[in-house]
Structure formats: C-alpha cells, structure tokens
Structure 1
C-alpha cells in the first residue's frame, strides 16, 4: 500500500486538489443559481432542476480532468467512447426535440419573464383559444397551462421560446407570502 502511495503521490495530490476545486466551484454556482431563483421568484423545484444539470456537468468535467491526471490512454478509451457517443448521437438525433426542450427549459429558467400563477396568452395559430391560460407549472420539458374551464394544455418549452407570449395578469405576492392577481 505504501508503494502505491509513494508511486502515485503526485496523481493523488492532484486528484484531491481537483476534487476540492470542483466541489468549491459547484458550491458557489449552486449558491448563485439559488440566489437568482429567489430574486426572480422562481419556484424551488425549477431551481433544484437547474442545480442537478450543473452537478452533472461538473461530474463530467471532473471525470475528464481526473482521467487526464492519471494518464489514461485516450487512444484505447477513445474507441469505447466513440462507440458510446455514436449510439447516444443516433438516439439524440432521433429525439432532438427532447434535447431542445431541456435546453429551452434551462434558458427559460434564467430569462423567462413570467412565473407560475401568471395568466398568459400564447400567439400560436395552432392554439384556437382566445382566453388566457394560467401557468400552473414549468418543468424541464414543458409548461403546464390551464384554461378557466379546467382544460389543461401541456406546451413544449422549445415552442414557448419560438412563439410570442403576452402577459394578461401578473401574480403579485402579498406581504404575508400569499399570491393574488
């Protein structure tokens, strides 16, 4: 065991430093995302979803850095990864709309001017309703909109970014934390 630590002292130290830096950066970014979420009155579930995306990204980055530190032969591993990425690429190409909806969900988290409880009208020729919709929930793939009569419309995030959306009624928070229109 001592021989292992003696032989790989530099790699172990570099790995520990890398993990410490990654965890620190992840902590700072999570804190920043939560602050943006609270300042923008974004629902906690959406904030948690974005922090999960960031955690996964940091995991992939740290995996790559640690593989570089330990000197993994990328030519041998490259064949395995290229095969995996080819299969994933075909799957993502076949379901490109899912990827675009997730990307749109992340963009909407940071820049969507409406929040849950607002009433909006989507100017889309495929939606025949003239009355506004109540935003019930905003998920990673779609937004849930409800009419006055109870009809539910599940609208994809990528289309929400492509269509004009008008705010009809904005939800206002009262001093006691409840919402009113």
Structure 2
C-alpha cells in the first residue's frame, strides 16, 4: 500500500500520458485518412505514413514516460547523444534508405501523378517513359512500352524532371 502512495504522481502522470498517447494516435490516424481520402491517395501508402507517424508518437511517449518516472534530464541527454551518434554513423552509410523513406513521405503529401499514369523521366543518362504500376515506400514500379519493368527509387523521382504523358499505352485492343 505504501508503494501506491509513494508513486501516486508518477501513476497519475502515466495515466494521463496513456490517454493523451491513445488520443493522439487516433486523431492523427483519422486526419491522415481524411487527407488521403480527399486527395484520392492509395490505401497502402496511407498506412505507411500512419506507421511513420505512430513511430514518432511512440518515441515521444517513451521519452515522456522516462521523464515522468524521474530519470534525470542530463542522463537522458547523455543516452540520446550516444544513441544519436551511433545511429548517425550507421545511417550515414544508409543515407539512401533514409532519403527514399523521406521522399516517399513527400510524394505521399504532394503527389502529382498516380498509378496508371504514364510518365517520362528526363534523366540525362537513362531517359525513358513508363506506366506507373505501383508506388511503394522506397520505389516506384514502372512498366515501359516494351513490357520491361523498371524499379525507380523515390529520391531520384524527386530529383529528376518528370512529364506526365497521355496514357498512350492504352492502344491495346479490348477483348471481351
């Protein structure tokens, strides 16, 4: 019973944090889904962005929980700086992965084309046209007029000039 009285503030703070945490996840999920519905964004891309936002909220909730239960601020900063250093060094070698994830999020919120559109990528070394078959977290899957499948990284898609073409791949005959 003394244990309950000794940690009353921490338990109340944890309860409030839990309510805020659950509410924040529900609200952000509804907002992203509403935005996706209004902009006609695909469901799997919406779920991917929601997953990223939930990860960010989880990290913030964990930090708040550590603060509520009395870990010293200087200890948190030491741990975070150590973790950031290790992750920074590890991610420096993996910058393209982070770049593709960030590009995927940017493409989600300001996406000028959709699945089924034919685009021309103005690349000096490898220009081509292709129909967008799928848009993933890291890559866009394209199909050329010759039937070749091209997997194009999201970060390059943001860096290159792109023209949205009229869908001239639809010259196939319809057979019932």
Q: In the alignment, which residue of structure 1 is the partner of 2:82?
A: 83
Equivalent pair of 1:41/1:115 in contact (CA under 8 Å): no
CA–CA distance in 2 between the matches of 1:52 and 1:61? 14
Note the C-alpha offset of 1:75. 3.5
Equivalent pair of 1:135/1:144 in contact (CA under 8 Å): yes
Q: TM-score, normalised by structure 2?
A: 0.88
CA–CA distance in 2 between the matches of 1:64 and 1:77? 9
Q: In the alignment, which residue of structure 2 is the partner of 1:147?
A: 144
CA–CA distance in 2 between the matches of 1:22 and 1:169? 46
User: Residues 21-80 of structure 1, C-alpha deviation per residue, up to 9 Å, x if partnerless?
Assistant: 121121111111111112222111111000000110000000111111111124345444
User: Residues 6-27 of structure 1, C-alpha deviation per residue, up to 9 Å, x if partnerless?
Assistant: 1111111111111211211211
Note the C-alpha offset of 1:99. 0.6
SS of the aligned residue for 2:12 comes to: helix
Q: In the alignment, which residue of structure 1 is the partner of 2:10?
A: 11
Q: In the alignment, which residue of structure 2 is the partner of 1:162?
A: 159
User: Residues 70-119 of structure 1, C-alpha deviation per residue, up to 9 Å, x if partnerless?
Assistant: 11124345444433322211111111111111011001000011111111
CA–CA distance in 1 between the matches of 2:28 and 2:136? 21
CA RMSD of aligned residues (A): 1.5
User: Residues 115-148 of structure 1, C-alpha deviation per residue, up to 9 Å, x if partnerless?
Assistant: 111111111112243xx31111111111111112
Equivalent pair of 2:120/2:127 in contact (CA under 8 Å): no
Q: How many residues align?
A: 167
Unaligned 5+ segments in structure 2 are 168-176
Q: In the alignment, which residue of structure 2 is the partner of 1:95?
A: 94
SS of the aligned residue for 1:105 comes to: helix
Q: In the alignment, which residue of structure 1 is the partner of 2:60?
A: 61
CA–CA distance in 1 between the matches of 2:13 and 2:166? 54
Equivalent pair of 1:115/1:135 in contact (CA under 8 Å): yes
